């Protein structure tokens, strides 16, 4: 496997890199068929997923194009009428719904579709345009040592965080730059209602010291003692706890906002057979087993989840249901604009 294959076409790279890659690949022209896959997956995941896919489908060779979810979505939308991607593997479902609304995703029912949980399916027809892979949810990271020293109570609910005792002790991810931040905001609006959600965030804002630009950074700030409470996601806190930090992960009782990663075949894909193979593999038990190394909520019914040490149980049961992904996708920008208008005064500088 060529380890620089996907980085050369990272969205942050230049056209010169792409040209060099193409010019240098002439000798492999007779080899496996190249398929272009857009992704927002983390860099370390790509070689793992790629190796497993190509072992099962040796006639295809993945060429990744990686960027943030917003970058990948914008690129898809800009390419309507002349698609450059064959498939999307690893993009938030609410982002894929923007491409679907623009008519850019192909209906395809992957092998193993019947083993996918209903919450992870596009169920508008029998032939979906996207299929979920895994999911992550918001959670509270809580510094038990600092809280004991300062006599700050352990929160068990989101609404506990509006109490005066938490003033200036909370950090939250900015939803304009963090998907964990956005799924938190969207989750609260769905849980508490439109008016109740914004009322809750108004009160929460009074206690937030800063809005950081990453869901992982908020939990890291808790681990270092810069905050007692961080709104984050479960794995971030558990990883820190397992490295010795005094961090406890809490799943608030009202329910958890969440987002799923998903896969789709691009309409007009130049290599349709390869794109469908990506969708088939992504929905497979084998792939879901790989996803479990990074996520603790999986799409398949028949794949048992292995939790890391100190990971609290009950996360999947705590997800808000139903999660109205289409409505969230349609209102994303309006929600972000309203959030910025109300709360941007506490935004941390972007590093």
Average pLDDT per 10 consecutive residues for the chain, totaling 351 residues: 42 42 44 97 97 98 97 97 97 96 97 96 90 98 98 98 98 97 98 98 98 97 98 97 98 98 98 98 98 97 96 97 92 97 96 73
Contacts of 329 (CB under 8 A, 6+ apart): 93, 94, 95, 97, 98, 101
Query: What pLDDT sits at residue 268?
Result: 98
Query: What pLDDT sits at residue 5?
Result: 47
Nearest Cα to Cα of residue 37 among 277, 273, 275: 275
The angle that helices 45-56 and 272-282 make with each other, rounded to 10 degrees, is 110
Burial 173-202 (b: 16+ CB within 10 A, else e): bbbbbbbbbbbbbbbbbbbbeeeebbebbe
pTM for the model stands at: 0.89
Report d(CA 38, CA 81) in Å as an integer: 17
Query: What pLDDT sits at residue 7?
Result: 41
Query: What pLDDT sits at residue 125?
Result: 84
Answer whether 348's CB lies under 8 Å from 212's CB: yes
Query: What pLDDT sits at residue 3?
Result: 39
Length of the chain: 351
Q: In the block, which residue shows the tokens 């990971």?
A: 311
Q: In the block, which residue shows the tokens 């950090």?
A: 171
Query: What pLDDT sits at residue 124?
Result: 86
Nearest Cα to Cα of residue 92 among 31, 135, 63, 127: 135
Q: How far apart are the first and last CA of the chain?
A: 33
Report d(CA 299, CA 22) in Å as an integer: 36
Q: Label the pairing between strands 105-106 and 297-298.
A: unpaired
Domains along the chain? 7-134+259-298 (3.40.190.10), 136-258+310-346 (3.40.190.10)
Nearest Cα to Cα of residue 166 among 174, 158, 175: 158
Hey, is 277 helix, strand or coil?
A: helix
């Amino acid at each position: 496997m060529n380890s620089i294959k996907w980085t050369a076409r990272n969205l942050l790279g230049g056209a010169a890199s792409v040209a060099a890659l193409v010019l240098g690949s002439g000798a492999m022209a007779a080899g496996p068929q190249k398929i272009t896959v857009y992704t927002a997956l983390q860099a370390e995941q790509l070689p793992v997923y790629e190796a497993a896919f190509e072992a099962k489908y040796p006639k295809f060779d993945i060429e990744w194009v990686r960027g943030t979810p917003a970058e990948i979505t914008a690129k898809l939308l800009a390419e309507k009428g002349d698609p450059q991607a064959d498939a999307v593997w690893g993009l938030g479902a609410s982002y894929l719904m923007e491409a679907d609304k623009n008519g850019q995703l192909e209906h395809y029912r992957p092998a193993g579709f019947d083993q996918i949980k209903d919450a992870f399916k596009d169920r508008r027809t029998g032939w979906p345009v996207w299929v979920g892979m895994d999911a992550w949810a918001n959670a509270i990271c809580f510094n038990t040592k600092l809280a004991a020293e300062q006599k700050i109570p352990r929160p068990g609910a989101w609404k506990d965080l509006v109490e005066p005792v938490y003033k200036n002790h909370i950090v939250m991810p900015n939803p304009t730059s963090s998907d964990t931040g956005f799924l938190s905001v969207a989750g609260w609006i769905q849980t508490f209602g439109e008016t109740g959600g914004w009322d809750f965030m108004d009160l929460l804002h009074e206690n937030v010291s800063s809005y950081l630009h990453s869901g992982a950074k908020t939990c890291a700030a808790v681990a270092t003692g810069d905050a007692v409470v961080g709104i984050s996601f479960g794995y971030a806190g558990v990883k820190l706890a397992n490295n010795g930090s005094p961090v406890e992960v809490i799943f608030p009782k009202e329910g958890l906002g969440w987002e799923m990663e998903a896969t789709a075949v691009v309409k007009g894909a130049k290599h349709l057979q390869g794109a469908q193979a990506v969708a088939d593999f992504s929905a497979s038990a084998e792939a879901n087993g790989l996803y479990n190394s990074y996520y603790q909520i999986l799409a398949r019914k028949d794949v048992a989840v292995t939790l890391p040490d100190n990971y609290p149980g009950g996360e999947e049961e705590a997800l808000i249901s139903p999660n109205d992904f289409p409505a969230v996708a349609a209102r994303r920008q309006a929600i972000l604009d309203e959030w910025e208008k109300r709360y941007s005064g506490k935004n941390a500088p972007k590093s």
